[in-house]
Structure 1
Amino acid sequence: MSFLVIGECVADIVRGADGTERIHPGGSPANVALGLGRLGRDVTLLTQLADDPTGRLIADHLKGAGVRVESGGAPVRTPSAVVALDARGQATYTFDIAWTLETGGLPRAERPCHVHIGSIAAVTAPGAAAVLTEVERLRDGATVSYDPNVRPALMGERAEAVVRVERCVALSDLVKASDEDLAWLYPGEAPETVAARWLALGPALVLVTRGAAGSLARTGREAAVAQAPAVAVVDTVGAGDSFMSAVLDTLAGRGREALSSLGAEDLAGLLARAGAAAAVTVSRAGAQPPDRAELDAAGERFALRSGRAS
């Protein structure tokens, strides 16, 4: 099964609470592609990278995990984000990024079975239009997933951002968001309420991550929750993307009807495995998702509790 991820690469300049600084390859869609590659999946990333030192660093990082990198036009410089970590390892971001993706219906020898979009690339003009064009072109033969990965500094006015996000939700079969994403998009609304609204727009499955509080999953008929594994946090960079990669790996090959038919036990198991992937990532610096052996070991090591949601 082949995956196509469309979205940005970003050089994460991570500044610790102690003032130290490290550069890590990042960008939410790129991290998802990296995670799929490390899990042994056939994955292509359609992105933009400049021919500069950080661009080459990111390209080599992705290719080292088996990800094919396909260009949709080169920016003047590779996008970057200054990532400030507080004493708990929680991250805040300051971006220097432009997104001008061009596709023109790029030819491919094989159409993907699944398309993943998200973050800055799915809602930032002018490149977002090309992302949605590709999704609309491919979705008849592929399932689609979306992670808004909200960056308030780049989202503009909230009401307009909600319209853009909900358009992506409506094009998708599977949506994953964090509780922080939902709190910014829909202030004061419970995650369960937003999940129900999004399901009504078209997706078969909505997942919500809640950091140390765990995660939840809902279809039109079933729901489940899972606790987060207890783990020492180095930083939270890329945790949600590792969660997403593990979700896509676990559900690989399931069509829209199969996603909507997932039972409560299936959902609980999905959350547990994805939570284990996120736990591995937060236990080490930067967006470093697990490979398959690490994920299998983590699933056995962590004592995860999950079950049907009320």
Structure 2
Amino acid sequence: MFVVCGEALMDVYAGESTPTGLSFDARIGGSPFNVAVGLARLGRPVALLTGLSTDSAGERLLTALQDEQVDTSLLLRSDAPSTLSVISLDAHGVPRYAFHGTGAADRQITFDTLPALPPTTRALQFGSYALVVEPVGSALLALAAREHTQRLIAYDPNVRLNVEPDLSRWRALVEQMVAQSHFVKVSDEDLGLLYPGETPEQVAARWLAVGVSLVTVTRGGHGASSWTQSVQVDVPSLPVKVVDTVGAGDTFQAALLTWLDERDKLSATAMASLDRQALEAMLKFASKASSITCSRRGADMPRRNELD
């Protein structure tokens, strides 16, 4: 089983002006929530570990998880409000985010209230802003450190400066998490923010040197790259008519983890031994999944039969 750790929220799309204000279209979301749903749609057993409100948005998120057959036994419910992520899209379909989440339910987890992991847990997925807000950030960092030698740790920074604008804090967090991770997926956009003086190749080499087995960098319309200690592979992106890119990176991560799981490669040793052909196949599988999400509005991730 996968356990995805992080936030669940409502993506609220700002729409057209009305005579009395603005129209909004609220959709279930949050990067870890999306990864969990993406894994479930790709046929993987998965649980989401997050704080979830008992308000109307939280109830809708719960229903969505149940409908997608995501294990909800690790949810911590509270009467704190749900986070709202207000999204506006530019002319190219690229999202801009404004987060409203101070004191929200997905930030309420502490190390003492962390639920016990199911004994069948093979991999933990971390990422996004839950790691830089408290008290949940410290709790999840401690969980990764505790489980590092027992289970696969996967990480996607998914930097959100609207939540935490201090890049030095993000860099410190990323280095902490990388030191605990076996697999890191990161966008070139995040690398440009975090390490403007380094190339993706340099960052990948540095992370591999501290113990990461597999590094993958997504480059949007320019494809993706993966590195192990011995192999480096690039693949182009697939042509697609982009509706928007919300959830594209989350889909890519869910697909990477699915590909590895289907081939029994969910271990540091197995990932480190992947050859060029395997890495190319893995990236092409994830690229196809991501292209499907980009062709639809919102984080509407593909199901396994759409990739066959």
With structure 2 as the length reference, what TM-score do the two structures score?
0.91
Q: CA deviation at 1:71?
A: 2.1
Residue type of the alignment partner of 1:68: D
Map 1:85-96 to 2 at 5 A: 85-96=89-100
Structure 2: runs of 5+ lacking an equivalent: none
- 8 A Cα contact 2:4 2:126, kept in partner: yes
User: Which residue in the other structure is 1:272 paired with?
Assistant: 284
User: Which residue in the other structure is 1:57 paired with?
Assistant: 60
CA distance in structure 1 between the partners assigned to 2:29 and 2:200 by the alignment: 27
Among 238, 249, 266, the residue aligned to 1:229: 238
User: Which residue in the other structure is 1:28 paired with?
Assistant: 31
- 8 A Cα contact 1:28 1:238, kept in partner: yes
CA distance in structure 2 between the partners assigned to 1:75 and 1:145 by the alignment: 30
CA distance in structure 1 between the partners assigned to 2:11 and 2:118 by the alignment: 33
CA distance in structure 2 between the partners assigned to 1:136 and 1:186 by the alignment: 24
Among 165, 171, 176, the residue aligned to 2:185: 176
Residue type of the alignment partner of 2:90: D
Taking structure 1 as reference, are residues 76 and 61 closer, same or farther at Cα in structure 2, changes over 3 Å only? same
User: Which residue in the other structure is 2:2 paired with?
Assistant: 3
Q: CA deviation at 1:110?
A: 1.7
- 8 A Cα contact 1:82 1:94, kept in partner: yes
1:76 matched to 2:80? The reply is yes
User: Which residue in the other structure is 1:303 paired with?
Assistant: none
Residues 41-91 of structure 1: CA distance to partner in whole angstroms, max 9, x if unpaired?
111101011111111111111221110122235261011100110121100
Residue type of the alignment partner of 1:53: S
Residues 91-113 of structure 1: CA distance to partner in whole angstroms, max 9, x if unpaired?
01000124221353523442410
Q: CA deviation at 1:124?
A: 2.1
Among 31, 40, 43, the residue aligned to 2:46: 43
- 8 A Cα contact 1:199 1:219, kept in partner: yes
1:210 matched to 2:214? The reply is no
Q: CA deviation at 1:146?
A: 0.3
* Count of residue correspondences: 295
* Higher alpha-carbon deviation: 129-138 or 269-278: 129-138
User: Which residue in the other structure is 1:167 paired with?
Assistant: 176
- 8 A Cα contact 1:33 1:67, kept in partner: yes
Aligned residues with identical type, % of pairs? 39
- 8 A Cα contact 1:16 1:85, kept in partner: no
CA distance in structure 2 between the partners assigned to 1:208 and 1:117 by the alignment: 16
Q: CA deviation at 1:184?
A: 0.6
- 8 A Cα contact 1:222 1:264, kept in partner: yes
Taking structure 1 as reference, are residues 265 and 11 closer, same or farther at Cα in structure 2, changes over 3 Å only? same
Residues 195-235 of structure 1: CA distance to partner in whole angstroms, max 9, x if unpaired?
11222222101101111111110111101011111011111
- 8 A Cα contact 1:122 1:132, kept in partner: yes
- 8 A Cα contact 2:128 2:159, kept in partner: yes
Q: CA deviation at 1:140?
A: 2.4
Tell me the SS of whatever aligns to 2:241. Answer: coil
* Higher alpha-carbon deviation: 70-79 or 116-125: 70-79
User: Which residue in the other structure is 2:206 paired with?
Assistant: 197
